[in-house]
Chains A and B, each alone.
Chain A
C-alpha cells in the first residue's frame, strides 16, 4: 500500500519570505499523480498544484512550485513571497493512476508571520 509522509507538523514563515514543505511517499507504481492541497479553517480542500509522475519538469503555479524527485520519492512544495492568506493546513496527496486510489499525508500547518 502507498504511504505519504509529511514530517513537519508545523512550519512558520515571515511574510514575503520563502518556505518549503516536505513530502515523501512510498510506491512501487510507475503511473501516479501527486498533489498539494491547502485547507484553511473553513475546511474546504483547495488544490494548489499537481504533478504527473511521468513528467520530469517540476510543476509551477504562480508563487507555488514543487521539487519532484522521483527516484528519491520526494515531492516538496515551495511557496515564494509568502502572504498572510497562505496560512493554512497543507496536505500532500498521492493518486494511484491505475487503481484510482488516493492517499493523503497527515498535513503541515503553515503559519505566516506579519
Chain B
C-alpha cells in the first residue's frame, strides 16, 4: 500500500511570495489533514477534510492560507503572501473511518518551507 505522498519536499521563498504544497493521501482514506509543525513544537492542525468537505479549519490563517481537496482525493495547501513565521514543516496525513486500523493517522514525509 502506497503511503501519503507530498511535494515539494523542500521550498525556499522570499517573504510576500506564494507557495503551494500538494498531497495525495493513501487510497481509500476519506479524512485528510494538513498540519504545520514549527521547529521544536508539536504538529498544529491547520485544516481537516472529510472527503471534499471541511471538518475543521479553525486554526487556519484564512487571510493568507487556503486549502482545497477536489474530488475528495488530492489536496493543495497554498500560502499567499508568505511571512517569515510561516517557516515550518507542513505535514499531510490521512486516515480511514472503517475497517482495520481505523482512525490511525498516517503521515507523509512533509514539505519543508523556509521563508527568507
Q: Which residues of A contact B (CB under 8 A)?
A: 33, 35, 37, 42-47, 50, 91, 93, 95, 97, 100-102, 104-107
Q: Which residues of B contact A (CB under 8 A)?
A: 31, 33, 37, 41-43, 45, 48, 50, 55-56, 89, 91, 93, 95, 97, 101, 103-110, 112
Asked if B48 and A100 sit within 8 Å, CB to CB, the answer is yes
Closest to B88 in A: A43
A46 CA to B109 CA, complexed, in Å: 10
Tell whether, in the assembled complex, residue B109 and residue A44 are in contact, meaning their CB atoms are under 8 Å apart: yes
Contacts of A35 in B (CB 8 A): 104-105
Instruction: Give the residues in chain B near A42, CB-CB below 8 Å.
Output: 109
| Complex alpha-carbon distance, A10 and B24, angstroms | 34
CB <8 Å contact, B50 and A45: no
Q: How far is the CA of A107 from the CA of B91 in the complex (A)?
A: 16
Give the CA-CA distance A43 to B41 in the complex, in Å: 11
Residue of A nearest to B108 (CB): A44
